[in-house]
Amino acid sequence: MPRPFVAYLRVYEPLSAFPDASRDRLRHLAEQSPVDRADVGVHEQMMWLKSQENDLAGLPGERADGSPLPVRDLMAVRDEAGELLVCPLDLRARAAAAVVGFLSTASDPLRRATLGGAEERLRAKAGTVLGELPGGAVHVVSTTWTVPLPWFVLVDQEERVVEGEDDTLTVYWLVPMRTARQRVQRAYELAEATFGESGPTKVLQDTSRWLAHFHESSLVELDYGGLVQLLGEDGVDEDTSAEDVNAILDAIEQPDPAEVAERFERLRDFWGDLAVRERMQ
């Protein structure tokens, strides 16, 4: 089964960031049954489909009566000191956020055809779930078919990790939270002065606010997820997106408009191929 064409930003927090009562369970899951990076897209897709078997208003990560299940789906990494950090997939809350987005943007005929008589019940449930979200933020945000260019300010090209091959090929970056916050703040200030409050500036502001919810000793991950299937090994080898985005920031500071234009052109050409594929689906 092809992996969903989804890319991710994730935050892995130390166990000390979680309530005392949940730490032993989180440690056990992280050590015994973490979700693998190459499998996470399909895992999340199957969890959503399973939640819809009996109830259109059901969400993944909850019991038949709608109450939340204990955390059981998470990813795990270790930092340079060997400390275990975990990223709960927060499937129930992320599904609720997706429902709110769908209900606010879809046309009336599409909502009726998709949800039937469950629309209002699902709307109410999604609002309740998001209102009860621990910490005020999910540990994972995702996007389909592309990577928002502002996300690349969080990473350097040299920090990229490429693992596996074919069906298990993965491309990702892991950076310390402090570094990620510093980088996004610098990018935000430059973008605000150059582009104003819209476009990339808004994405950077939202990203900065999201990162502020988590423990300062966390790790931040940018993961291409299933997009590597569209890029292929040749595309991965040719990809210099992180280098190009950070070169744009440097060129804005200098300033060097010609360099900015050249780098934007490279990014447009590279990611434009994926945009064409999406439109053809």
| pTM of the predicted protein model | 0.90
Provide the residue type at 157 as one letter: Q
pLDDT of residue 83: 95
pLDDT of residue 277: 63
Which position has the higher pLDDT, 26 or 106? 26
Q: Are 213 and 136 in contact (CB under 8 A)?
A: yes
Summarize the chain as % helix, strand, coil (round to 5): 60, 15, 25
277 dihedral zone (left: phi>0; alpha: psi -120 to 50; beta): alpha
- Picking from 17-21, 164-168, 188-192, 248-252, which range would have the lowest pLDDT averaged per residue? 164-168
Q: Are 3 and 226 in contact (CB under 8 A)?
A: yes
Nearest to 223 by CA among 99, 139, 133, 130: 139
Band of pLDDT at residue 27, cut at 50, 70 and 90 = very high
- Picking from 93-97, 125-129, 151-155, 176-180, which range would have the lowest pLDDT averaged per residue? 125-129
Q: Could you tell me where the beta strands, DSSP code E, fall in 177-261?
A: 219-223
List of residues 6+ apart from 160 with CB closer than 8 A: 171, 172, 173, 242
pLDDT digits (tens, 9 = 90+) for 33-92: 999 999 999 888 888 777 766 555 677 777 776 677 667 899 999 999 999 999 999 988
